[in-house]
């Protein structure tokens, strides 16, 4: 079988291009397996990962043929439901993607449907082009947006996520940027390329360890009391400043030079 994605590494940047024309870049078990293999081979010192789709599609979301096949298999008494297993595997993939220690950028150029929209929402930064189309289509198919709900709520808040999910919303790139689903709307390919390069250059000025810890703290502050978070944050800050990376950052500032991680970009 031909590879379902292309991976390109440039310095501390990694670009992953979903390329399954037959299934419109659906998040099939095979596609998810290839993405996870690419992640397994990636250094935590990466600055950023850009994920995008080929063939004029970001991702059609769930692999409906696999779901249909699992639906035909009734579990024996005491056996797990294969539909539950498929859905849970998707949830674990989204959780891993959202927790990656480096910055993730979803460049949406074309349809991002269902789980494809969820994958974009799970990214740290979303770019939408004039060809982007977002569709939260699950409820129109008779199912809830089960595993992507946490990422929609984290990005948009519950009120807005509820409205989008309960109406099977469809949005273009400009509308997605207006509500915060996309961080940037790019009206042309040139604008998209310039915006992406500007973002990547900015990210590469940040220390990889500090970015990873910042992502962890942002997640922690949603699940801890104020007092507990104060202690968590204090320990995090002290450990970071005492680390080789923190010492290098402080020294570079005092000496008015670029820190070492920028020279490895």
142 and 230 share one domain: no
Task: Give the residue from 136, 124, 194 showing the smallest Cα distance to 165.
Answer: 136
Domains contained in the chain, number: 2
259 and 175 share one domain: no
CATH number, domain with residue 35: 3.90.226.10
38 and 70 share one domain: yes
105 and 188 share one domain: yes
Whole-structure pTM value: 0.94
191 and 74 share one domain: yes
- How much is the average pLDDT of 7-35? 95
Per residue in 41-81, pLDDT (tens digit) is: 998 789 999 999 999 999 999 888 888 887 787 777 878 88
181 and 243 share one domain: no
For the record, the structure tokens of 99 come out as 């927790």
175 and 242 share one domain: no
Alpha-carbon span 200 to 105, nearest angstrom = 9
CATH number, domain with residue 251: 1.10.12.10
139 and 221 share one domain: no
Reply yes or no on whether the pLDDT at 1 is more than 70.
Answer: no
Helix (H) or strand (E) holding 14: strand 13-18
Per the DSSP assignment, residues forming a β-bridge with 171 are 134
Per residue in 87-110, pLDDT (tens digit) is: 999 999 999 999 999 999 999 999
Domain of 86? Answer: 5-203
Strand intervals (E) in 19-142: 48-53, 103-108, 111-113, 125-129, 133-135
Higher per-residue confidence, 33 vs 76: 33
* End-to-end Cα distance, the chain: 34
127 and 87 share one domain: yes
Reply yes or no on whether the pLDDT at 264 is more than 80.
Answer: no
120 and 53 share one domain: yes
């Amino acid at each position: 079988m031909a590879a379902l994605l292309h991976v390109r590494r440039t310095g501390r940047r990694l670009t992953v291009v979903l390329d399954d024309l037959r299934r419109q870049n659906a998040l099939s078990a095979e596609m998810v397996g290839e993405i996870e293999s690419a992640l397994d081979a990636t250094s935590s010192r990466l600055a950023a990962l850009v994920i995008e789709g080929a063939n004029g599609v970001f991702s059609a979301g769930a692999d409906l043929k696999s779901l249909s096949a699992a639906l035909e298999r009734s579990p024996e008494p005491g056996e797990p439901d294969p539909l539950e297993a498929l859905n849970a595997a998707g949830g674990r993939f989204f959780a891993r993607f959202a927790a990656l220690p480096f910055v993730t950028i979803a460049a949406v150029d074309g349809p991002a449907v269902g789980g494809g929209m969820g994958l974009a929402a799970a990214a740290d930064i979303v770019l939408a082009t004039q060809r982007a189309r977002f569709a939260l289509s699950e409820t129109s198919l008779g199912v809830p947006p089960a595993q992507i709900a946490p990422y929609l709520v984290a990005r948009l808040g519950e009120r807005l996520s509820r409205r989008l999910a309960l109406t099977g919303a469809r949005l273009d790139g400009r509308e997605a940027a207006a509500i915060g689903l996309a961080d940037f709307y790019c009206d042309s390919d040139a604008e998209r390329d310039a915006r992406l390069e500007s973002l990547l250059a900015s990210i590469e000025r940040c220390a990889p360890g500090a970015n990873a810890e910042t992502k962890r703290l942002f997640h922690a502050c949603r699940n801890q009391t104020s007092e507990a978070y104060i202690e968590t944050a204090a320990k995090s800050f002290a450990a970071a400043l005492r680390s080789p990376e923190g010492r290098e950052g402080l020294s570079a500032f005092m000496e008015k030079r670029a820190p070492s991680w920028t020279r490895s970009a």
